[in-house]
Chains A and B, each alone.
Chain A
Amino acid sequence: MNVAKRMVNAAVRSRSYATMYVPPASLENVVVRRQTPKRTPESPNFYTGRAAYFDQVNALELALQHTRSALQTLQLLPLPSFVRESIPPGHHVWLTKLGLTEMLNAPLTTSRYRRLLGLLNQLDNYRRIAEVAGVEGLASRVADVLEIFERENKEAFLARGKRKPVEFDEYGRSYTVGRRKESAARVWAIAVQKQTPDAPSASTEDQPLDPLPQLTPTITSAMGDSPLPPTEITSTNVLINNIPLSQFFPLPADRERVVRPLKIAGLVGAYNIFALVRGGGTTGQSGAISLGIAKALAAHVPDVEPLLRRAKLLRRDPRMAERKKTGRAKARKAYTWVKR
C-alpha cells in the first residue's frame, strides 16, 4: 500500500505537464519559502572547511611549481650535491603559528603550520639557488612572495646577541664604552682636523719690472728640484673628565695603557679622545679607557680591528675582584693556623 502510494506520489511529482489543483482556501495558510539562489563559493576549497589555509597551500604549491619549472628551464635544477652545499645558508625568520593564524584568520594546528613551513623553506631554497645563479628577477619575485610570511622584526631577530655597530654623530664622533674591574669609561673619539695650509697671500707690491722670460729647462729630474712641503704633524689630545691625561694619571704605566691602542694601531695624532670615567681605581680606570679607545678606533678604521684583536686590546678583561670567603681573612688569605 505504501509502496503504491509512494509510486503514485513520485509519478505525480515528476509530471511537469500536469498542474495540481489546489483549492484557494488551502492557499491561505501556505508559507512561501524564499528561494535563495545558490551562490558559488569564493574559493574552490570552500568545502574543505579551512578555505584560507588550503588557499595558501595551493598558492604556495603553485609558486613552487612555477619556480621549479623556471629553474629547470635555466638548467639550475637538479643541482649536484657539492653545488648545493656551497650555496650560502639562508637566514629565514618565518611568522610564528600565532602570527600565521592571525594572517589567515583561521585556526591553525601544528601539523598544518609545519606543512606550510615546509613549503616556505622549499621556496626559499629555490630563491637562494636563483640568487646565487644571478637570476635577479626570479629571485626578487620569489622573495616578494616569501616576504608576506616573514616576521616584521626580522633584522632585529637575526642580530640578536651580536654587538651593535658603533654609530657616528653628525660631527663624526664615535661613542664607545669600556669597562674594567669596577670602572666604566665612556669614550668619544673624533678625527683630528688638519689645518689647510694658507695660500700665500698676494703681495700688495707692484709687479717687478719686466719679468724675465721663462726658460724651459732642458734637464728634468724625476723628483723635481723643489723641496718637499713640510708635513703637518697633529697630536692627539686626551682629556679624561676634562683633565689632560698627564694630570689625571701621574703614573707612566697608566698613561701608557691609555695610549697603547693608538700606538699599536699607528694612529697617534689622528684622533682626539674625550673620556668620562667613573668607579674603581687607577688601573681599572686606565684599562676601561683603553678598551673604549680600542673600540672607537675599530669603528673609525675597520682595517685596524684585527691588529687590536691580536693585541688583546678589544677584549674586556673579565678578571674581577674575588669575593671574601667565610673562614678566611680575605679571598685567599687564611688565618694563622694554630695547632691546638
Chain B
Amino acid sequence: MRSSRVLAEQLSTASRCTIPRVRQTRGYAQAKKTPAAKHQSQGFKGNKNKGDDARKKLKVDNVGLFKPLPVNQLTDPVFKSDYRSSLTLPTYSPEALTDAAIGLAMEFPMSENEAIRAYGVPKNLLIEFRVLSKPCSVVRDVTLKAVDTLDAAGMTPSRDTRLIMTGPSGCGKSYLLLQTVEYATHNNWIVLYIPRAIQLVNSSTTYVYDPRTRTYHQPEYSYQLLRRFLSVNSTALQNITSREDLPLGDHTIPAGSPLTELVEAGIHNKDLASVVLSALMSELSQQSTYPVLLAVDDAQALYGYSSYRDPHYRTLMAQHLSIPRLLLEYASGKKSFPRGAFFGAASTAHTSFLMPLEMCEALGLPPSRPTSPYTPRSPDMVSYAQGLRNFPVPAQLSINEAAALFDVWMSDNALHSGEVRQNGELVAAPNDELFMTKYCEASGNARAFVWKGLLSTLGSL
C-alpha cells in the first residue's frame, strides 16, 4: 500500500505526461498533500539556482483546473459537504459490452495499474474526470464496433488493422479510443497508449541528436513512457522473453531474459531509455503470445512539422524524432506486430497541428484548405499515411446515449437549471425539457451538449 502510494507520487511529481489525480469519491478521505519531491530532470535547465522549490511545486501538474478542495476546508453550509454523493454505475469490462449495453454509462475500474492512471488521459477528459465523482463514459454503438474490430485484429498482424478515428470536434473520438484501450488492457492485450501525442512534437520535452540512428531521441519522454508501460503491462512482459542480446553500454541484456529486465534497465538509466524503447518495440514485434495495441490520441500531430529546431534552426519534422518515427512506422505498416493493431484518434483541439493533406487524402476526408493536383505532397508523409483506414465517429449522439450522459451529470448534482423551490431553498430539478432543448442546441454533439449546453447555460428555467 505504502510503496504503491510512493510510486504514484513519484510518477506524478516527475512527469511531464500527467497522471490525473483521480479518486473514487470527490474529496472524501483525501490524503494530505505532500510537498513535491525533488525531481531530477536532465538536459538544459536554465535558472538552476533560482526559486527551485516554488518552481517544483508549480510543476506538479500541467493542468491545474478543477482540482477539488478537501472537504475539511469547505465548512460553509452552502457547499453541502454532507450531501456529497458518488455515482453508482456498472463497471466497464469486456464482459459487460453487449448489445444491451448501448446507451448505458459505465465507470472505469481504477485499479493500481490501470491504463488511465499510468498513461494519463487527454486534457479535456482529465478535466471531466476531475469534475465527475467517478471516471465514466457512455457505451455507444461505435464502442461496440471499435471493440469488435479490435477483437478481430487480435488474430491478425497490426499491418492489417490501422485505424484513425475521425469526426467533427467534440463527437467523442478520444473517449472512444480510451474505451478501446481499457477493453484491450482488460482482455490481456499489451497496450501502449499515448494520450497526448502533441507533447512529442510541441518541443516540451528534451531532445538530443543520435548520430547512430540519425534521429532525435527524447530521453525524458522515453523514460516516462517505459515506466508507465511497465506498470500497466508487467504481468505480460514477465512472460515474454527477449530474442536478441541487447548491448547497453557497460552491460548486455542477454537473449532469453524476460522483457521486464529490459524495461527496468531503461528506467534505471535515463540515457538508455530511448534505446531500450526501440529495442522493446522490436521485441514485441517478434512475439505473438500477446496481441499488442498501439493507441495514439492526437495522431495527426505526428504527420507534419514539429516545433523543434535543429542546430541550424531548421524546423524538424515529426519523423525526424525517434518516438514519433517509431509510431509512424507502425501506423504505416512498415513495422508490424504479429498480432495487434494500431488505433489513432485525430484531434481538432490544436490548430497548429491540423490534419495534413497527405493524411486527409489517405483517409478519404475533405482537406481543410482547397487543394489542387499541383499542391506539393511530401512523399515521406504519403508513405507514412498510406494504408490508414478511416473509422468515422458519428457526429450526433443518439437520444438514448445523450439521455445516459444527461443522467450521469444529473446524478452527480452538476446541473443548475430547472431550479425549484423546495423547503425554502432553490433546488435544481432538471427535467426532460432541459434535456431536449440542450440536445437540440448542441445538434447532438457530445461536448457541446455537456459543456456548452448543460454546464454553461445561464438560463434557469
Task: Considering the complex, give the chain B residue whose CB is closest to the CB of A264.
Answer: B461
Pick from B395, B433, B448, B458: contact of A268, CB below 8 A: B433
Task: Considering the complex, give the chain A residue whose CB is closest to the CB of B170.
Answer: A246
B443 interfacial contact with A, CB 8 Å: yes
A256 touches B440 (CB 8 A): no
B377 interfacial contact with A, CB 8 Å: no
Task: Considering the complex, give the chain A residue whose CB is closest to the CB of B403.
Answer: A233
A259 touches B440 (CB 8 A): yes
A246/B448 contact (C-beta < 8 A), A235-B399, A252-B453, A256-B457 known: yes
Closest beta carbon of chain B to A206's beta carbon, Å: 27
A193 interfacial contact with B, CB 8 Å: no
Find chain A residues with CB under 8 A from B395 CB: 244
Cα–Cα, bound, A266→B399 (Å): 18
B457 touches A238 (CB 8 A): no
A125 interfacial contact with B, CB 8 Å: no
A26 interfacial contact with B, CB 8 Å: no
A288 interfacial contact with B, CB 8 Å: no
Pick from A233, A245, A266: contact of B441, CB below 8 A: A245
Pick from A244, A252, A258, A269: contact of B436, CB below 8 A: A269
A interface majority secondary structure? helix
Find chain B residues with CB under 8 A from A263 CB: 433, 437, 461
Find chain B residues with CB under 8 A from A236 CB: 436, 440
B456 interfacial contact with A, CB 8 Å: yes
Find chain A residues with CB under 8 A from B458 CB: 252-253
Residues 263-301 of A, flagged 1 when their CB comes within 8 A of B and 0 if not, give 100101100000000000000000000000000000000
A238 touches B459 (CB 8 A): no
Q: How large is the interface on A (under 10, 10 to 19, 20 to 34, 35 or more residues)?
A: 20 to 34
B437 touches A252 (CB 8 A): no
Closest beta carbon of chain B to A272's beta carbon, Å: 10
Of A236, A246, A255, A259, most B-chain CB atoms within 10 Å:
A246
Find chain A residues with CB under 8 A from B444 CB: 235
B452 interfacial contact with A, CB 8 Å: yes
Find chain B residues with CB under 8 A from A245 CB: 440-441, 443
Pick from B399, B443, B457: contact of A246, CB below 8 A: B443
Pick from A233, A244, A252, A268: contact of B443, CB below 8 A: A244
Q: How large is the interface on B (under 10, 10 to 19, 20 to 34, 35 or more residues)?
A: 20 to 34
B384 interfacial contact with A, CB 8 Å: no
Residues 418-437 of B, flagged 1 when their CB comes within 8 A of A and 0 if not, give 00000000000000010011
A235 touches B439 (CB 8 A): yes
Pick from B168, B433, B457: contact of A252, CB below 8 A: B457
Chain B interface residues toward A at CB < 8 A: 168, 395, 399, 433, 436-437, 439-445, 448, 452-453, 456-459, 461
Closest CB pairs A-B (n = 8): A244-B443, A255-B441, A246-B443, A268-B436, A246-B448, A236-B440, A263-B437, A252-B452
Chain A interface residues toward B at CB < 8 A: 233, 235-238, 244-247, 252-253, 255-256, 258-259, 262-263, 266, 268-269
Give 15 A-B pairs besides A252-B453, A262-B437, A268-B433 with Cβ atoms closer than 8 angstroms: A233-B436, A235-B399, A235-B440, A236-B440, A244-B395, A245-B441, A245-B443, A246-B448, A246-B452, A247-B168, A247-B443, A255-B442, A263-B461, A266-B433, A268-B436
23 contacts between A and B (CB under 8 A): A233-B399, A233-B436, A235-B399, A235-B439, A235-B444, A236-B436, A238-B440, A238-B443, A244-B445, A245-B443, A246-B441, A246-B443, A246-B445, A246-B452, A252-B441, A252-B453, A252-B457, A255-B452, A259-B441, A266-B433, A268-B433, A268-B436, A269-B440
